[in-house]
Amino acid sequence: MAFNLEKSIEVLERTPKALHVLLIGLSDDWIYSNEGDNTWSPFDVVGHLIHGEKTDWIPRITNVLNKSENKMFEPFDRFAQFEASKNKSIHTLLGEFETLRYQNLAYLKTLNISKEQLYLKGQHPELGEVTLEQLIATWVTHDLGHIAQISRVMAKQYKNNVGPWIQYISILND
């Protein structure tokens, strides 16, 4: 499928709802369990998504579109959620994510990004030059990847309980 901003927004709008339906009201075992050392729980992933809403996507989009010569993106702390999410509930995190995402998408829509602007470039601190199209496409795939990650983490909580069906459950073998 060719990149399309409106189709990208379709997915970005649904992520908060999908996570809310998937996670709200679940017991702590589902919310706080992970896959082992140095892995993330669903709670951690939601915190990470919040940090991205605050410091990554819109600030970088704004940077690409501004008239300044400096197109360097601020480095993104992929682990900031561990401190920022302390003493919060999953309910609080999901509400915060939903609010931030809807604000960010409302702002994105006001930008009226043209097809030509999608080829404007910013400077990623590790990856080098990236286009606005690549940045927004990454935002969408980042969401989908983390939804898949949450599903995988949750599925693996029963990995030792499915018995011989494990050979048919590909998510348990990733």
| CATH assignment of the domain containing 93 | 1.20.120.450
Containing structural domain, residue 33: 5-173
Taking the C-alpha atoms of residue 157 and residue 159, their distance in angstroms, rounded to an integer, is 6
CA angle 119-120-123, nearest 5°? 120
Taking the C-alpha atoms of residue 41 and residue 142, their distance in angstroms, rounded to an integer, is 16
Q: What is the pLDDT of residue 62?
A: 96
Exposure string of 12-37, with b = 16+ CB inside 10 Å and e = fewer, is beebbeebbeebeeeeeebbebbeee
Per the structure, the count of domains in the chain is 1
Q: What is the pLDDT of residue 78?
A: 87
Q: What is the pLDDT of residue 84?
A: 83
Residue 70: both structure tokens together: 């400096």
Question: What residue ranges of the chain have pLDDT lower than 70?
Answer: none
Q: What is the pLDDT of residue 80?
A: 87
The residues that bridge with 124 in the sheet, in sequence order, are 128
Q: What is the pLDDT of residue 68?
A: 82
Q: What is the pLDDT of residue 116?
A: 96
Taking the C-alpha atoms of residue 46 and residue 16, their distance in angstroms, rounded to an integer, is 9
Taking the C-alpha atoms of residue 174 and residue 52, their distance in angstroms, rounded to an integer, is 25
Q: What is the pLDDT of residue 93?
A: 97
Taking the C-alpha atoms of residue 20 and residue 72, their distance in angstroms, rounded to an integer, is 34
0.75 exceeded by the pTM?
yes
